[in-house]
Amino acid sequence: MERLLCKLFGHKWRYNFSILPNKCICSRCKRKMQLDLYLLEWNHVDLFENETRSDKELINKWVK
């Protein structure tokens, strides 16, 4: 249900600009997207590689 509402009202993406803006997470449905820097294409991923922070930390500490 939460994902459906997120799609209806629009995702609220938060981005990681610490090194490269290659990761983002939706603060509503916690969907993660990662940029393939070779293809310059965004892909849905279940987990971020080498990420130790929880989804809650990512959502609260990343920028809009």
Q: Domain extents for the chain?
A: 2-61
Taking only the tens place, the pLDDT of each residue in 6-42 is 777 888 888 887 655 688 999 888 889 988 888 888 8
Residues near 15 by Cβ (< 8 Å), separated by ≥ 6?
A: 21, 23, 24, 62, 63, 64
Question: pTM score > 0.85 for this model?
Answer: no
